[in-house]
Amino acid sequence: MLVEIGHVLPFAVLFSLPLALLGAVLLRRLSSGSMATALTVLAIVPVVSTIGGVLAVSGFMFTPILTTTLLVCLLVAVVTVPTAVLLGRALARRSVWEREARARERAAEASRRELVAWISHDLRTPLAGIRAMAEALADGVVSRRDEVADYAGRISAEASALSRMVDDLFELSRITAGALRLTLSDVPLADVVSEVVAAEGPVASRKGVVLKADAATWPVVLGSDPELARVVRNLLSNAIRHTPPDGTVAVRVEVDGSSALLRVDDSCGGIPEADLPRVFDVAFRGAPHRRPVGGGLGLAIARGLVEAHRGTIAAHNHGPGCRFEVRLPLSAGEQRRVG
């Protein structure tokens, strides 16, 4: 038995080894190509090498045993090659998904670092002012009644700004953590818009910006009143901030199919096309002339709240400025009415 093995082994190695080496070279050349192709070759090479060795040992004499062996090898190839193709495709998809996930994680981490740096700076500035004015009051540097009242008012304003920033951070953390729970009901957009316009009107007037709102019809949407008011307030605040004096900020509402369309147009002069897809990203501030005062989280919060309502929000350049467009689902009663 050992003599027979010693006689046939050199023939098996002589014919199967070159085939295996050829497969190894082919695999190396395919290392940068498709994973499915590489795994297919990896499955075929052992089968072909085995067939070569069997043919060498049999002396290429097609006996019943050789025919049976070849059929078995063929069946193995029929099973392993499709399996290798499917496995290769699955591994390729998973590899692509993992690379994309790592890229998203790196981008998110970079955004978090930028956000922390900017928020730290924006918090430090009003805190330093509050501390300086408080020390001046405590040390008696400021003693006249009008000066004391002025310092008290400035401290109150700075504290209010800090409070708004903290509220924004809390709201954003709820959105990003998926902890935002809305109680949906029928909300008339006329009430939401009129309240926000009334609140933002004095800010626009002080800057010399014309603020107006109109609609052919004021629809009723399915939403949460406080959150929708915050969306409109953030959009109007952003528009007023970037509109120069004598400019106009206009709010327009219309019905489009089963959705309400709310548009906020400003006169900011436009946003660079490269920045438009990123204006709603956390920690994105764009060009220096458009960088907001404070944390700059208003648009990111607006997007999160709109998406929580199963709506969409978009921005594009329009006329002398930008248009922010919010699409919200109509209430069931409103859909029946307009349908």
Over 70: is that where the pLDDT of 61 sits? no
Q: Which residue has the tokens 């907001």?
A: 292
Separation between Cα atoms, residue 82 and residue 39, nearest integer Å: 10
Separation between Cα atoms, residue 254 and residue 334, nearest integer Å: 13
Q: What is the pLDDT of residues 73-116, one digit of tens each?
A: 777 667 666 766 676 667 667 776 777 778 877 876 776 676 67
Q: What is the pLDDT of residues 116-140, one digit of tens each?
A: 766 676 677 778 888 888 888 888 7
Separation between Cα atoms, residue 192 and residue 164, nearest integer Å: 20
Q: Is the Cβ–Cβ distance between 109 and 283 less than 8 Å? A: no
Across the range 276-301, mean pLDDT stands at 67
Separation between Cα atoms, residue 297 and residue 172, nearest integer Å: 8
User: Tokens representing 160?
Assistant: 């209010």
Over 60: is that where the pLDDT of 271 sits? yes
Separation between Cα atoms, residue 290 and residue 79, nearest integer Å: 62
Mean pLDDT of the chain: 78
Over 70: is that where the pLDDT of 255 sits? yes
43 Cβ contact partners less than 8 Å away, ≥ 6 residues apart:
77, 80, 81, 83, 84
Q: What is the pLDDT of residues 218-241, one digit of tens each?
A: 899 999 998 999 999 999 999 999
| Residue-level pLDDT at 294 | 43
- Between helices 145-176 and 64-138, what is the axis angle to 10°? 170
User: For residue 13, which of 42, 41, 54, 67 has the smallest C-alpha distance?
Assistant: 54
Dihedral, CA of residue 270, residue 272, residue 276 and residue 279, to nearest 10: -80
The backbone torsions φ and ψ at residue 275, rounded to the nearest 5 degrees and listed phi first, read: -90, -20
Separation between Cα atoms, residue 80 and residue 82, nearest integer Å: 6
